Amino acid sequence: MKILNVDQIRSLDQSTIQHEPIAPINLMERAALTFVDWFVDHFPSTTKTKIFCGLGNNGGDGLAIARLLLEREYPVDIFVVRYAPRESDDFMHNHRRLKLVTERVHYIESTTDIPAIRHHDVVIDAILGSGLSRPTEGIVSDTIKAINRAPATVISVDIASGLYTDQPNSPTDVIIEPDYTLSFQLPKLAFMLPKNEPYVGDWQLLDIRLHKRFIDLAPTPYYFTQPDEARLLLHKRKRFSNKGTFGHALLLVGSYGKIGAAVLAARACLRSGVGLLTVQVPQCGYTILQTSVPEAMCSPDRHQNVLTGTAPAGHPGNESIDPSDYSTIGIGPGIGKAPETLAMLKGLLPTLKKPIVVDADALNLLAENREALANLPKNSILTPHPKEFERLTKKWNDDYEKLTILRDFAKKYQVVVILKGAHSAVATPGGDIHFNSTGNPGLSTGGTGDVLTGILTALLAQGYDPVEAAVLGVFSHGLAGDRVAQQRGPIGMTASDVIDALRWE
Ligand X SMILES: NC(=O)C1=CN([C@@H]2O[C@H](COP(=O)(O)OP(=O)(O)OC[C@H]3O[C@@H](n4cnc5c(N)ncnc54)[C@H](O)[C@@H]3O)[C@@H](O)[C@H]2O)[C@H](O)CC1
Q: Which residues bind ligand X (CB under 6 A)?
A: 9, 12-13, 27-28, 31, 54, 56-61, 83, 88, 128-136, 140, 157-158, 184, 210
SS3 (DSSP) at 280: strand
**Is the CB of 126 or the CB of 485 nearer to ligand X?**
126
Quote the longest CA-to-CA distance of the chain.
88
**Is the CB of 157 or the CB of 252 nearer to ligand X?**
157
Residue 136 binds which entry of ligand X, K ion, none, with Cβ cut-offs from 5 to 8 Å by kind?
Answer: ligand X
> d(Cα 204, Cα 195) in Å, to the nearest integer?
18
**Binding-site sequence positions:** 57-61, 125, 129-135, 158, 161, 261, 334, 385, 420-424, 449-450
Nearest-CA neighbor of 4 among 187, 158, 212, 206?
187
**Binding-site sequence positions for AMP:** 420-424, 449
Sheet arrangement for strand 202-206: 105-108, 76-81, 49-53, 122-126, 153-157, 180-184, 202-206
DSSP per residue, 46-115 = T--EEEEE-SSHHHHHHHHHHHHHHHTT--EEEEEE--SS---HHHHHHHHHHHHH-S-EEEESSGGGSP
**Is the CB of 130 or the CB of 380 nearer to ligand X?**
130
DSSP per residue, 235-270 = PPPPTT--GGGG-EEEEE---TT-HHHHHHHHHHHH
Residue 93 corresponds to which amino acid? H
Question: Minimum distance from CB of 57 to ligand X (Å)?
Answer: 3
Residue 140 binds which entry of ligand X, K ion, none, with Cβ cut-offs from 5 to 8 Å by kind?
Answer: ligand X
Binding to K ion by CB under 5 A, coded x per residue (else -) over 123-152, reads: --x---x-----------------------
Q: Which of 15, 156, 310, 457 binds K ion (CB under 5 A)?
A: 156
Question: Minimum distance from CB of 239 to K ion (Å)?
Answer: 53
Instruction: Point out the residue whose Cβ comes nearest to K ion.
Output: 161
**Binding-site sequence positions for (6S)-NADPHX:** 57-61, 129-135, 158, 261, 334, 385, 450
- On the question of a cis peptide bond just before residue 187, with omega within 30 degrees of 0, the verdict is no
Stretch of residues binding K ion (CB under 5 A), selected from 159-167, 266-274, 289-297, 488-496: 159-167
Confirm or reject binding of residue 328 to K ion (CB under 5 A).
no
**Is the CB of 128 or the CB of 443 nearer to ligand X?**
128
**Is the CB of 7 or the CB of 368 nearer to ligand X?**
7
Question: Minimum distance from CB of 79 to ligand X (Å)?
Answer: 15
**What phi and psi, each to the nearest 5 degrees, are found at residue 53?**
-115, 140
Q: Which residues, listed in sequence order, are joined to residue 204 by a DSSP beta bridge?
A: 182
Confirm or reject binding of residue 161 to K ion (CB under 5 A).
yes
Stretch of residues binding K ion (CB under 5 A), selected from 121-129, 292-300, 355-363, 448-456: 121-129
